[in-house]
Structure 1
């Protein structure tokens, strides 16, 4: 869906994708995506840490 949007509307020179009704590019989506990416990375890091703790635990613990 995103590729179709880019093919149809292109992107701004700085890479922003979405525009508002006035035709101005909006930063809301970039901020939202950055927060979502940070959250996802945090979940992955936490999961990896728990995995490492399980591997380091003595057998039968």
Structure 2
């Protein structure tokens, strides 16, 4: 992935050591989910993409 690649909805990302899923992007605010908790990303450019949505689907890990 490119260095400046921003995540999209459904992507699995690392947010300061916490593995999360991007659930929504609204007016430039990235919402992240881990379990039942949802919170806005403090630094969207700092999110590290672990797996794209398509790869999660291919891996059978898309709920």
TM-score higher than 0.5:
no
Greater RCO (CA < 8 Å, at least 6 residues apart): 2
Which one has the largest radius of gyration?
A: 1
TM-score by length of 1: 0.23
Report which of the two has the higher share of strand: 2
Report which of the two has the higher share of helix: 1
TM-score by length of 2: 0.23
